Amino acid sequence: MGDRTNTIFGWVLFAGIIMLGLSAISSRWFHGGSPERPEQMGYAIEGVAEEGGDSGPDIGTLLAAATPEAGEKIFAKCIACHSIESGGPTGIGPNLYGVLGTPIGKHAAGFAYSSALVDVGGSWDYEAMDAWLKSPRGFANGTKMSFAGLGSAEDRANVIAYLHANGGGPAFPEPAAPEVTEEGDTAADAPGAGPGPVEGAEAGAAESAGGASMDQPVAGGGATANSGGAKIGGR
């Protein structure tokens, strides 16, 4: 009886050792303790455009509808780091008065711009400023700017209009010409396009009022000056 018990315990112990050995081998083989990150996350879906593409209104169209008043509200995110009034102080970021049209990374004398921004070259035209506001790190990889950027193209255009109202800059680019359809009509003249009703349908009261209530572009300055600002003019 005692020999049989010892034999049973021996086999149980042997089975445990085998299981531990197999567990160690499988862990090393399949990297169970430290799973590897796949080279490409997820799967591309055919026919779906990537986020952040070039679709949407051009910068000229966006600026034509932008207002300094709307931009001032968005710029409130920036006043912790930037001033925008003429002769304003340098903070975490440079003063932004009159930044539009100036060389990139050289606007505020004495400010220590990052070499990543200085190396971009060129000037702060409207396309460059729009790209910078969208993603500072995408525009100048290695910049000291920690602001993530503005995802809305309309928000970026409003901020640019506010910058223009505080120090001026080059003339706004003209909006792109309306797209012409295969039938020869422009997109604005095509049936059902624009704020009006579809041809043949009775216009409701809200539709009739909609065409007259659209925002009109505001030119020039008039915005009140703020002190401080969100890392817009580059560092």
pTM score, whole prediction: 0.57
CB 227 within 8 A of CB 85: yes
pLDDT of residue 70: 97
Q: Provide mean pLDDT across the span 39-43.
A: 43
Query: What is the DSSP track for 127-156?
Result: HHHHHHHH-HHHHSTT-S--------HHHH
For the residues 87-97, what does the mean pLDDT come to?
A: 91
- What's phi and psi for 7, nearest 5 deg? -65, -40
- Average pLDDT over the chain reads 74
> Element (H or E) spanning 196, and its range?
none
Domains of the chain by start residue, with CATH: 68-165 (1.10.760.10)
The kind and range of the H/E element at 104 are: none
Q: Is 80 exceeded by the pLDDT of residue 226? A: no
Q: What is the pLDDT of residue 183?
A: 65
130 close to 152: Cβ distance less than 8 angstroms? no
